Structures are given as C-alpha cells and as structure tokens.
Amino acid sequence: MVFCFTDWSLYDEAVVFTQERVFTLQSYHLVHRGPAFTEDTEIALQRASRKYRVKTKARQNGREEVLNGTLDLPPDVYNGMVITVAKNLPKGTSETVHIVAFTPTPRLVQLEFVPAGEQNVLIGELEKIATHYVLKPRLGIWLKLFATLLGRIPPDSHAWLINDELPAFVRFEGQLVTAGPVWRIETTSPRWPDQPKH
C-alpha cells in the first residue's frame, strides 16, 4: 500500500503472508518519510529469522537511531493485514489478534475487532450494508500505565466493510503510524448516501 502526498511525503507498506487455512505474516516492511511525519522511518520484520530493524531520523534535529534485534512473533501477528483479517471475519463476530507497535522499540500489542453496528452505503444506486468494526488496542496493565504517563495511549481505529460473498473495503479511520495523526481512507465507490456522485 503506497500513499504519495502532495508535499512529497511517502507512506510505503508491504507485507508478505501465506494463507493455508489461516493467514501467517512472513515479512513486513514499512517506509514513511517527509513533512507529513514527525520522523523518517524504515521498519523491517522477518518471521523466519525473528529479526527486526528500525531506522529513524528525526525531522527537527536530524538525529538518527538504528535498532536491531530479535522478536518472537505469535502466529496471529497481522501488521499490514488488519483490513484483510477484518474482511475474513464471520459477520458480527469479534476477534483478538496481535500487531507489533514500533515505538520505535517493537512491542507486541493485542488488537480487538469489535463489531459496532451497520451502515448503508451505495454502489451506483444499489444500497448495501457495511459492518462497522472498532479496532481496540489492548496494551496490558504496565504498557498502558507507561503509555498514559507519556500521553501516548493509541486511539481506537474504525473500519467499515461490506460482508457480501466477496467482502469489500469501504472506509478506515485511524493512525497509520504510532503516535501519528488519525487519517481517513475511503474508496470512491461504494459511497456513503450523503456523498455526491462523482
């Protein structure tokens, strides 16, 4: 998934995964740089070797930091795959998985998918039902206390999906990077009933 911003900022996220009855993340790579972000970052994570590498460069003072290490990944780590997982949930069910939050030190965080109702969307003149999921990070007691002290408790994210025979993404609202702004990503079709036709 690549976003190119008008200020020349870049968000480039790539994930390699297998699908044999369950999804399994094999590798994850994220680059974000430019004025839209507080720092330029490159992240690499590999399941087979357990290795991670995080390289950051602060935009204010140009200070660079590189972290290398290993991390045991549970089977249900889904960085870069949150929407893919949500599209495959049985309608109306909740689920808890893991993501690795890079702060920049990598930390395993539980992420709970909670269904939060339905909303009508339009495909042309055809009305469909989108399921709204709230994505709630579960930090654990000590990590939550630490995040509270630093004022860095991550907000909930939101995803809307059509659960037809072929599930479809409609909208996402949330952070793309740790401690980053909340952004909205949505498709031009389906559209919300209150949006004009293009």
Strand order in the sheet with 22-33: 2-4, 10-20, 22-33, 39-46, 51-58, 64-70
More confident residue, 62 or 50: 50
**Is 68 a member of any domain?**
yes
Query: Mind listing the pLDDT tens digit for each residue in 119-148?
Result: 888 877 778 889 999 999 987 644 544 444
**Is residue 198 included in any domain, yes or no?**
no
User: Does some domain include residue 62?
Assistant: yes
Taking alpha carbons only, the member of 198, 128, 127, 111 closest to residue 163 is 128
**Percentage, residues of the chain above pLDDT 90:** 55
User: 29 or 151: whose pLDDT is higher?
Assistant: 29
Q: What are the φ and ψ backbone dihedral angles of 155, each rounded to 5 degrees? A: -75, 160
- Domain count for the chain, please give it: 1
Instruction: Show the domain range for 82.
Output: 2-186
> What are the pLDDT digits (tens) for 97-120?
999 988 888 989 899 999 999 988
- Evaluate the omega torsion of the peptide bond into residue 196 and state whether it is cis, within 30 degrees of 0: no
* Residue 191 located in a structural domain: no
* Residue 49 falls inside a structural domain: yes
pLDDT digits (tens, 9 = 90+) for 63-106: 899 999 999 999 999 999 999 999 888 888 899 999 998 888 89
Q: Is the pLDDT of residue 196 over 70?
A: no
Instruction: Tell me if residue 162 falls in helix, strand or coil.
Output: strand
Which sign does the torsion angle of CA 91, 95, 98, 101 carry?
positive
pLDDT at 150: 44
Nearest to 157 by CA among 141, 129, 176, 130: 176
State residue 142's pLDDT score: 45
CB distance 25 to 77 below 8 Å: yes
pLDDT value at position 153?
Answer: 65
User: Residue 176 falls within a domain, yes or no?
Assistant: yes
Per-position DSSP letters for 21-79, written without gaps between them: SEEEEEEEEEEEESTTSSEEEEEEEETTT-EEEEEEEETTT--EEEEEEE-PPPTTB-T
CB 168 within 8 A of CB 162: yes
Tell me, yes or no, whether 53 lies in a domain.
Answer: yes
The answer to whether residue 197 sits within a structural domain is no
Question: Which helix (H) or strand (E) covers residue 82, if one does?
Answer: helix 82-87
